[in-house]
């Protein structure tokens, strides 16, 4: 199982919150932090969290000075009913890793079979020795299900054992801190409106105070020994006490089944919850552990990247890809939050991370999941239309910078709403999906409408200047240390690409006259508007400095003083936590890849020599304070033949969470960086691009790696790609022959 398991062989009290994140379990719907059954709240720093993707509370945003068009309310993912607690008493002594003697300890996340396992050999203060084996799983095949298998074996005694299982509805979120990336304004969001026991099943219903959502949690248990059960029901929690006589070397097998159903996805979540619980108990735990193994076997067949020669890198990649699967919404109601379903960082919000950094992985390996993510964007298009109107646009759609339900909830507009490039990022993902899958029906039914509506807003914020160039003023690009600027290179390049592909979407729509007329009737689009987009594309202004032979990040960027990196203390990074935004805006300093990212996505817009100049210039002034940055610099270093630099940037990205390189993984994983690690291999080392609808490769294998092997799906073909010291090999696993280009040389794969 080398490189398939993340293992900790000591009880790490100092990094308990970090490990709660690293070993969390999720399935795209439900996420549970690995907070241990013993419950260390009040004793160790812990965020004991269980979350449902897309289950949130809203609150009015309190502004000191509120102006027109500001976001009205916040949205925060909620910590819901806690079912993790299982306490163990041995002849009156409480099992705790903070007491007694830990003779051995092992915590293991198995990403191949989808579970967390904890093995403990523990001696009580009175000398009683127990072997405790705990296995946890959030099911991929029954998304509402969380199982805890809790086995206890007395090794040197007979005596009475009491197992206490708790369902607790009295839960809260962490509150806001000085770090804008974590916390909510108010910790308490949920009220318990139902707490009951039916046929030894504990049921708690929690309801939000403002967003009018509810969640039902039910629990039942299975125990392999005769026992005495006592149930204590309180207003907001239910306590099950199982008492039994334990015998030396006889294993006690205790299973806790928990089902979570929310009002977003279930019409009658109370009745459906109990029906699911009944089905789960009838099937039994082994059924779901086996199903988990089968599900993941299929996932890894299409998604694994095999690395020969670098075990740390292999471990990091598999961990990252598994976390993407755990995080991705699989039901069109939801997307991927910046922290997945692993914690409360960024309040569970969806950003552009999904569209630019994560969707490529799913598009090339699991296109049905990619389609669900795109459908979330389509299903929130009406809310984006409303936002556009609020922002003064008579037609079109403006997608929110950060959101859960599709409404803007970013209170800081210079680095939020002003990032109009979100429109182009979402449109870009729809275009890429079409190029990879050739799914014309999807483009006709959904994609074209998104492209037209986003293009309308981008056209509206731009204009033709006195020289006849199309310019876009007062926006913010990806770099959040430079806000409200004219002609951000990234935004202009991506808008140009969007305008270009509205013509493609129009042509595809023309193949289905019924759909074309339907969309014309719905949004009033016509061919003249498509021609206007085409004219703007042809005359798009892309800033360029003839003296330095680089693309300025925006019109004013090169007129600013370069940040004093030499005299900035290490402890002052990330800069956003130590300097006022205006201070940062006045300098040449980048939080993350901006112009360099534009070159990755739209390399065709300039020459490789200019890309090299830009890379060298921006590398010196980029702090990589954003986890979205190093993967892009790695990819572009590969493109420029900078082998060692590419690898160094990549290893930083690939193990960002496992090694806690940004020192904030305790608040949740970094899903965009994880998507970036897949891109770093495929688009970086292997150098894959789509150009004119065809696959191009410019490989550059790092010296420390012997071989890279993975699969992709492209235009109804399955390809196996291998890069080693001998070169690049592409095999056609299924589908018709395909022309590809390796270092600009055409090759037919058949």
CA atoms within 13 A on the CB side of 234: 10
Paired tokens of 125? 């203060």
What per-residue confidence (pLDDT) applies to 551? 98
- Mean pLDDT on 69-88: 96
What's the full length of the chain, in residues? 750
Token digits of residue 676: 């970036």
**What was the pLDDT predicted at 178?**
56
Mean pLDDT of 316-321: 97
pTM (2 d.p.) = 0.96
Banded pLDDT at 41 (limits 50, 70, 90): confident
What Å distances lie between residue 364 and 56, 332, 673, 750, CA to CA?
A: 31, 19, 17, 19
Cβ proximity of 449 and 523 under 8 Å: yes
pLDDT class of 3 with cuts at 50, 70, 90: confident
Separation between Cα atoms, residue 742 and residue 729, nearest integer Å: 10
Q: Which candidate, 117, 128, 131, places its Cα nearest to that of 90?
A: 128
143 pLDDT exceeds 80?
Answer: yes
Compute the average pLDDT of residues 599-619.
98
β-pair partners for 719: 712, 732
Catalytic residue among 315, 344, 449, 480: 480
Mean residue pLDDT of the chain comes to: 96
- So what's the pLDDT on residue 484? 98
Res 478 pLDDT > 60: yes
Establish whether 344 is a catalytic residue: no
DSSP-based three-state secondary structure for 324:
helix
pLDDT at 148 over 70: yes
pLDDT exceeds 70 at position 363:
yes
**pLDDT at site 70:** 94
Distance CA 326, CA 147 (A): 16
- Over its C-alpha atoms, the chain yields an Rg (Å, rounded) of 27
Task: Report the C-alpha gap between 445 and 618 in whole angstroms.
Answer: 41
Stretch 294-318: mean pLDDT: 96
- Tens of pLDDT, residue by residue over 108-117, are 999 999 999 9
Residue 355, phi then psi, degrees to nearest 5: -70, -35
- Alpha carbon distance 230, 253 (integer Å): 18
Per-residue pLDDT at 173: 87
Dump pLDDT digits (tens) for 507-525.
999 999 999 999 999 999 9
**Rounded distance between C-alpha atoms, residue 395 and residue 586, angstroms:** 34
CB 277 within 8 A of CB 283: no
Report whether pLDDT(183) > 60: no
- The CATH classification of domain 9-273, taken from the options 2.70.98.40, 2.60.120.560, 3.40.50.150, 3.30.360.10: 2.70.98.40
For 684-741, write each residue's pLDDT tens digit. 999 999 999 999 999 999 999 999 999 999 999 999 999 999 999 999 999 999 999 9
pLDDT above 90 as % of the chain: 95
| Residue position matching structure tokens 């395909």 | 738
The owner of tokens 């790695």 is: 634
Q: What's the pLDDT at 176?
A: 60
In this prediction, residue 185 carries a pLDDT of 54
DSSP 8-state assignment for residue 384: H
Mean pLDDT to the nearest integer, 494-498: 98
- Whole-number pLDDT of residue 332: 81
Q: How far is CA 38 from CA 35, 89, 101, 555, 696, in A?
A: 8, 11, 15, 57, 53
Give the residue from 749, 657, 635 showing the smallest Cα distance to 702.
635
CB 643 within 8 A of CB 705: no
Please report which confidence band the pLDDT of residue 177 belongs to, taking 50, 70 and 90 as the band edges.
Answer: low
């Amino acid at each position: 199982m080398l490189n398939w398991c993340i293992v900790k062989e000591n009880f790490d009290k100092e990094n308990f919150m970090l490990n709660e994140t690293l070993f969390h379990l999720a399935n795209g719907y439900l996420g549970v932090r690995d907070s241990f059954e013993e419950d260390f709240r009040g004793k160790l720093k812990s965020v004991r969290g269980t979350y449902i993707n897309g289950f949130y509370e809203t609150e009015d945003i309190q502004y000191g000075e509120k102006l027109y068009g500001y976001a009205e309310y916040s949205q925060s993912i909620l910590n819901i009913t806690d079912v993790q607690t299982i306490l163990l008493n041995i002849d009156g002594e409480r099992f705790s890793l903070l007491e007694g003697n830990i003779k051995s300890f092992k915590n293991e996340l198995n990403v191949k079979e989808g579970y967390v396992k904890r093995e403990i050999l523990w001696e009580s203060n009175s000398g009683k020795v127990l072997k405790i084996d705990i296995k946890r799983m959030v099911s991929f095949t029954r998304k509402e299900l969380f199982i805890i298998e809790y086995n206890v074996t007395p090794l040197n005694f007979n005596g009475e054992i009491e197992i206490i299982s708790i369902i607790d509805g009295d839960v809260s979120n962490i509150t806001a801190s000085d770090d804008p990336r974590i916390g909510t304004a108010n910790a308490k969001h949920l009220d318990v409106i139902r707490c009951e026991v039916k046929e030894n099943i504990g049921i708690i219903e929690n309801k939000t105070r403002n967003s009018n959502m509810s969640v039902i949690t039910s629990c039942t248990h299975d125990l392999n020994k005769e026992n005495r059960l006592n149930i204590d029901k309180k207003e907001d929690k239910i306590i099950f006490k199982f008492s039994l006589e334990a015998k030396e070397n006889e294993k006690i097998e205790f299973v806790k089944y928990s089902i979570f159903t929310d009002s977003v996805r279930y019409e009658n979540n109370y009745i459906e919850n109990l029906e699911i619980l009944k089905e789960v108990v009838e099937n039994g735990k082994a059924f779901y552990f086996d199903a988990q193994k089968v599900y993941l076997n299929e996932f890894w067949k299409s998604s694994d990247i095999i690395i020969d020669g670098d075990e740390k890198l292999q471990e990091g990649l598999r961990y990252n890809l598994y976390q993407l699967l755990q995080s991705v919404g699989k039901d069109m109601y939801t997307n991927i939050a910046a922290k997945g379903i692993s914690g409360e960082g960024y309040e569970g919000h969806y950003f552009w991370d999904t569209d630019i950094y994560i969707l490529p992985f799913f598009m090339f390996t699991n296109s049905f999941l990619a389609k669900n993510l795109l459908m979330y964007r389509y299903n929130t298009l009406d809310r984006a239309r409303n936002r556009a109107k609020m922002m003064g646009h008579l037609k079109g759609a403006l997608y929110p910078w950060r959101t859960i339900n599709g409404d803007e909830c970013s209170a800081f507009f210079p680095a939020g709403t002003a990032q109009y490039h979100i429109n182009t990022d979402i449109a870009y993902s729809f275009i890429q999906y079409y190029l990879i899958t050739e799914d014309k029906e999807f483009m006709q039914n959904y994609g074209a409408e998104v492209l037209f509506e986003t293009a309308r807003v981008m056209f509206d914020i731009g204009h033709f200047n006195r020289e006849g160039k199309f310019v876009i003023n007062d926006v913010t690009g990806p770099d959040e240390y430079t806000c409200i600027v004219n002609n951000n290179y990234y935004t202009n390049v991506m808008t140009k690409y969007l305008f270009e592909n509205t013509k493609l979407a129009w042509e595809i729509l023309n193949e289905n006259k019924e759909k074309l007329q339907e969309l014309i009737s719905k949004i009033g689009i016509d061919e003249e508007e498509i021609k206007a987009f085409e004219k703007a594309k042809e005359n798009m202004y892309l800033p360029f400095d003839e003296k330095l032979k680089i693309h300025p990040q925006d019109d004013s960027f090169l007129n600013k003083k370069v940040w004093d990196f030499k005299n900035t203390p290490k402890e002052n990074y990330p800069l956003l936590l130590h300097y006022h935004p205006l201070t940062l805006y006045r300098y040449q300093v980048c939080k993350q890849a901006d112009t360099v990212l534009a070159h990755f996505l739209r390399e065709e817009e300039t020459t490789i020599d200019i890309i090299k100049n830009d890379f060298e210039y921006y590398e010196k002034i980029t702090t990589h304070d954003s986890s979205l940055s190093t993967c892009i610099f790695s990819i572009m270093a590969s493109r420029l033949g900078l082998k060692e630099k590419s690898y160094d940037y990549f290893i930083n990205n690939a193990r960002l969470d496992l090694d806690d390189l940004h020192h904030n993984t305790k608040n949740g994983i970094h899903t965009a960086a994880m998507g970036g690690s897949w891109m770093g291999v495929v688009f970086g080392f292997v150098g894959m691009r789509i150009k004119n609808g065809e696959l191009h490769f410019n490989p550059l294998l790092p010296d420390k790696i012997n071989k890279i092997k993975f699969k992709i799906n492209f235009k109804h073909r399955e390809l196996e790609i291998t890069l080693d010291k001998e070169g690049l090999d592409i095999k056609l696993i299924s589908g018709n022959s395909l022309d590809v280009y390796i270092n600009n040389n055409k090759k037919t794969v058949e």
